[in-house]
Structure formats: C-alpha cells, structure tokens
Amino acid sequence: MIVMKFGGTSVGDGERIRRVAEIVAERATGEVLVVVSAMEGVTDALIRAARAAAGQQGDLLHRLISQLSLRHEQAAREVAPQGETDLLLGKIRALIQEFRHLCSAIQILGELTPRGLDAVASLGERLSVRLLAASIRSLGLPACPIEATELIVTDSSHGTASPLMDLTRERTRKTLLPLLEKGAIPVVTGFIGATKEGAITTLGRGGSDFTAAILGSCLDADEVWIWTDVDGVMTADPRVVPEAHTLPELSYAEAAELSYFGGKVIHPKTILPAVEKNIPIRIKNTFNPDGPSTLIVARPRAEAPLIKTITSIKGLSLITVEGRGMLGVPGIAAKLFSAVAHQGISVLMISQSSSEQNICFVIREEETKRALHALKEAFSPELSSRNVDRIWAERGVAIVAAVGQGIKTVPGIAGKLFGALGKAGINVISIAQGSSEYNISLVVRQEEVDRAVRAVHQEFFPGG
C-alpha cells in the first residue's frame, strides 16, 4: 500500500490536476491512498480573506472570494468526467458559499478566532480533493474524495493541532480499509483534522506532508511518496543555489534536521510517524516523475558524503541577555527559557559564550517584542542589581545550517564552514552545534544569508 501526497504547486490549475491524475493512474498497481494540498496559493488567499473580513476590508474580501471561486470553477470545468461538470460545479459552489458565510460571520463579529481561521483555512483542501478525485475518475478509476476531519482526530490547538493517534488510527482504518479493499482510491484532504467535538483544526502550514505520514502510519503503508515541484531533497534549496543536486538517500534523522532548519521540501513533523513504523518516504517531482528522487530511510545504504544539505531560515531575531554579574550564577538560563516558554515562544537555536557573560538565542522576528517584554519582567531584580546589564534584540537575522551525519564523526567541518564564510566576507554573528550533532548552525544578517548558503555550498560541493 502506497500513500501519495501531492503539494499545492502540483495541483496549481486544471491542467496540472490532470497530470497528477495520470501519475496516480499509471502507478496505481496496488492499493493507493492519495493526499492532496490546496491549489497553489489558495491557503494564503483564504487566510487573507479571513483577516480582511475581521478587519472590515469588504472590497478586498469580495475580490478574494470571487478570485477563488473563479479559479476553482475553471479547474472544475477542465477536470470533470464527461457529463459530471454540473455535479462537480455544484459541490465547488456549495463550498464557496460556506466560505462566504464564514467570512460574513467573522465580519459581523469583527473578530477572528483561531477556530474561525482554521474553518476558513481548511477550505482549500476541501475544494482540491473534489477536483482531484473527479480528475482521477475521468480516467476510469474509482476515486472518492474524503475529508480528513472524519479520520484525523486532533487536540484543540488550532493552527498547530496534533493528532490523537489511537483514535485517528481507529477511524482511519474503519473508513479507509473497506474502500481500499474494494479497489477504490481515496483522495484525502491534507493539512486538516477535527477535534473530538468535531471542530475543524489545521496541522500547521505545509502540514499536508504530515497528513500523509499520519495516514501511512495508521494504515501500515509500505511507503509514503511526497510529490512536489523539485527533484527530491537537494544539497540546498534550488531557488537559492541553482547548481544544487538531488540526494539519492537520506536518514530519518537527517531529514528531520533539514526540515527543522528551513528545508521546506518536507514538513518537520512528517518524520516521526514514519520512523515509528519504519516506513520509507520518497520525495519525487510531479513535473519530472521519472527523474531523480530521494529515499528517506532509517539507515541509508549509499556511501554518505559528510554534509548532505545547506539550509537556511529567514525572518528571525537574536536575543541577547548580557551581564558581568551572570558569571557563575546558577539558574539564569532556567529563568530565561522558562520566561520565554511561558509566552509560547519557541527557541530555534541557543548559544552561550564560555565566559558566561551572555546567553543568546534565536526566535521568530514577529515574537521579538513579546520576548523582550517577558525577559525584562522576569529579570527585573537582576537588572536593578546590575547582575544583568542589558537585554536586547538584533532583528533581521537568519540561520544557516549545514546538515549531515558526517558532522558527528569528522573533525574540521566547522573550520571549512567558517573558512568559506570568511572568504566570502560574511560576518558570523553567533554559532551553535545542535546536541544531535547532525548539524552546525550559525546566525548571519538576513541580507547575507543567500550569499552565505551559496558560499558554503560551493565549499562542500565544489562540482555543483
């Protein structure tokens, strides 16, 4: 049994949806479950519409609704099986109507709750499953659209919900196994789930990869295939480094690290369900289906290069807590991180200088104000006694990370990394080595990050 997930670009318009249907048809030799994202850009547009509704920006809201409606109706006309266009259009229009109603409710309330936002954001996948299932049916295969709200039971953390795996497994098997046994191809919404009470939730941006892994785990799939718009996982983001090349194999640990440090090609939470069941994940290109691809497994066989990929994360701030009085005082770090954690702010990287005179850590830039406020409050006694001199933020920074299991065992990698950045004249603001030893990450100014990635890539992969 194979789970195949298709991302937003892969289903960006009617023609692309038809191409995806062909890929499914060609490869559907055994049992196949399809997971699909919203059409490219649709989730962003839905979120913008919900915000426009809350902000009483009626004109923008109407423009967004009519654009989304037009785009989905046009795709429906292009993919519907013969004689079924009106039926499909009816379903699309009903969902657009639901979207309109949700937005007017938000507009009347003048407030957008996380729950309301999830109800709107989920519509992209609820629309795209209908289109893709219709397109597969038009090739003569028995595909049926299914909303993951019936399968994936989550907690109520709207926007970043986590699955309750036991319940999810039970529901998924009960609903999908009979369909698969009959030879049907279920086409399931990525990205979404529902609480036990039935409120729609979302799993986090880019979360359709996670959906595929959750369902793969529940069904004990043989493999999970993530179809995207590049030839698998590459030595760097090909948008930043055009000469980046495909990695044939990667370990789960490396893939987790790569996605955590900005490799958008796979959502960070995807790995865990796969590791637990030892399910291989393949990353393939919808636009080059027979081209190179990546296999993610527990232990790659291939002779591994030291460094596998160079990644980056933009839009960050570096917060520093500094003071000569911090030297040897126990509990400063504990106080610092609990103040930040209390705000629900996640810390991407930490480093402490050996003199113990400062601790710095990296967070998302939009959380800077909240973090500074919480820290100044927590350290107000130390600030008065001058044990802590200064708490400040450097905005507009980015992390560059080199990921690979070679980092663990081979000396000199850090030297090579800094050498490359030095030669390129890029200033390194801070450094950390993850405790997993699968990566070295460092902080640079955001304006320099793409150049930094290219310089490090050139150093480790001189032939491109």
326-329, long-range: CB < 8 A, 24+ apart? 326/356, 326/357, 326/358, 326/359, 326/387, 326/388, 327/355, 327/356, 327/357, 328/356, 329/387
Is residue 402 a contact point for ligand ADP (CB under 6 A)?
Answer: no
Q: Which stretch binds ligand ASP (CB under 6 A): 152-160, 202-210, 212-220, 431-439?
A: 202-210
Min separation Cβ 107 and ligand ASP, Å: 23
163 near ligand ASP, rule: CB under 6 A:
no
d(CA 208, CA 9) in angstroms, rounded, equals 13
E strand segments, 230-356: 249-251, 281-285, 294-297, 309-322, 349-352
Q: How far is the CB of 45 from ligand ASP (least distance, A)?
A: 10
Q: Does 191 bind ligand ASP (CB under 6 A)?
A: yes
Contact 185, 28 (CB under 8 A): yes
236 binds ligand ADP (CB under 6 A): yes
Please give the torsion angle defined by the CA atoms of residues 282, 450, 288 and 303, in that order, rounded to the nearest 10 degrees: -50
Encoded one letter per residue, x for contact with Mg ion by CB under 5 A and - for no contact, window 4-33 reads: ---x--------------------------
Q: Which does residue 43 bind out of ligand ASP, Mg ion, ligand ADP, none, counting CB within 5 to 8 angstroms by kind?
A: ligand ASP
The residue number with the shortest CB distance to ligand ADP is 7
CB of 314 to ligand ADP, least distance (A): 12
Compare residues 186 and 206 and give the one whose CB is closer to ligand ASP.
206
Check binding of 124 to Mg ion (CB under 5 A). Answer: no
CB of 450 vs ligand ADP, minimal distance in Å: 12
3-state secondary structure of 34: strand
Task: Mark 177-206 with x for binding to Mg ion (rule: CB under 5 A) and - for no binding.
Answer: -----------------------------x
Tell which one of 264, 335, 376, 445 touches ligand ADP (CB under 6 A).
Answer: 264
Distance spanning both ends of the chain, measured CA to CA: 36
Does 190 bind ligand ASP (CB under 6 A)? Our answer is yes
Residues ≥6 apart with Cβ < 8 Å to 325: 382, 385, 386, 387, 388, 389
| Contact partners, residue 447, CB within 8 Å, separation at least 6 | 396
Q: Are 149 and 168 contacting, i.e. CB atoms less than 8 angstroms apart?
A: no
Contact track, ligand ADP, 13-42, x by CB under 6 A: ------------------------x-----
Residue 145 found at the interface with ligand ASP (CB under 6 A) = no
Q: Which residues bind ligand ASP (CB under 6 A)?
A: 7-8, 37-38, 43, 124, 190-191, 205-208
